[in-house]
Amino acid sequence: MVGVMVGSAALIIILSVFNGLETVVLGLFDTMTPELVIVPAKGKTFDPNTSYFSSLQKNKAVFSYTEVLQENALLKYNQKQAVGMVKGVSLAYLKNAKLDSSIREGHFTLQNKSGFTAVIGSALQSQLTVNTVDPFTELEIFSPKKTIAVNTLNPTEDFVNKSIRVSGVFEVQQEFDNGIIVPLAFARELLGEEKNVSTIEINLQEGTDVDRFKEEVASNLGEGFEVRNRAEQNRSLYHILNTEKWAVYIILTFILIIAIFNIIGSLTMLVIDKVKDIAILSSLGASKKLIKRIFLFEGMMITMSGCVLGLIIGLIFYYVQHNYGIIKMGEANLLMDSYPIGLKWKDYLLVFVTVGFFSFLASALSSNLSVKKIDQINQTI
């Protein structure tokens, strides 16, 4: 019972820690990742000026509706150059309250009295050594023209060149930190796109069912568009986190199986010790099925008692770690001081079912021994 208890507690604690790490990692992406994004099934851009998109923008369930136009471009600051993703967003993008928490330097503003401003990712800022407090030096952005003149002597004529002042530096993840966020009007002038957009980002009002809203939008848009939630926008990250979690679950389950199958040895010894009692029960009229059921019930009682105690220990550990953070990360400069932990009742149900299944197998094998030679025992007695 103690072996099953320790195994169950270890399994539920490890799964809870993975839940906490998943919440923290995905929370970093939530800063820049909307709840839903609409992208064209084919091509890079589409025209959002339709009746359905207009009605979607006015939907009461929608908190923010952001039109996005993005493309790679060449950026130059002083004598340094780098290629980065230029993301033009409409003003509704600023409704995201988490944006300020991602700012490492300056402010998250896209327009002031002087005109358009940009917010640059920390990785791109490090490459270009952009100074956000320098009012005289602006960031230059070069984008190829859609219609390139033939036989031009000056190669710069093939590019649109726009300058913009950097107001802040954000830091989220490398995927986002190699880009720059600018106003949508600025991006349209730079990329030569008058009406089309690359994506539409949607954040919903609190309490709205995201999956149901997604299905509704997808059915109305048809096959020409894809509607993706946060998991589908970061498929590789979700896949890695889930793979690691299930790998740990499988490894710890094997250890738990070893502890559970120890019950076979325990019940075997019990059967040997209770040979005379089994014979007496049989003589009194107890059927083989009843005798097997007695030992099956005892084996299940031992293992499931250990499982329940292990789950209670795991629940206590979650409460203590969540409120007091007794297990520290060991590095003071990390995002958190102690290991994060998350509670999911599905994990508790998973562990309970896993232990119950293997407990039944082990107990069933052991209970068969109790009636294997019952006829010989009766003759001997």
Q: How far apart are CA 26 and CA 34, in angstroms?
A: 12
275: CB partners within 8 A, 6+ apart? 377
Which pTM value belongs to this model? 0.70
Percent of the chain with pLDDT over 70: 92
Q: What Rg, from alpha-carbon coordinates, does the chain have?
A: 32
Q: How far apart are CA 339 and CA 329, in angstroms?
A: 6
For the four alpha carbons of 8, 11, 16 and 17, in that order, the dihedral sign comes to positive
Mean pLDDT computed over 349-378: 77
What are the Cα distances from residue 165, in Å, to 25, 76, 151, 289? 31, 12, 33, 84
- Write down the H helix ranges in 31-86: 51-57
CA 276 to chain centre: 58
pLDDT of 377 strictly over 60? no
With beta carbons less than 8 A apart as the criterion, state whether 218 and 21 touch. no
Interval 110-125: pLDDT, tens: 988 888 999 999 999 9
What is the token pair recorded at 39? 């992208």
What is the token pair recorded at 362? 């082990």
DSSP state of 205: P
Interval 33-85: pLDDT, tens: 899 999 999 989 999 999 999 999 999 999 999 999 999 999 999 889 999 99
With beta carbons less than 8 A apart as the criterion, state whether 363 and 41 touch. no
pLDDT band at 156 (very low <50, low <70, confident <90, very high): low
Q: How far apart are CA 180 and CA 73, in angstroms?
A: 10
Q: How far apart are CA 367 and CA 271, in angstroms?
A: 8
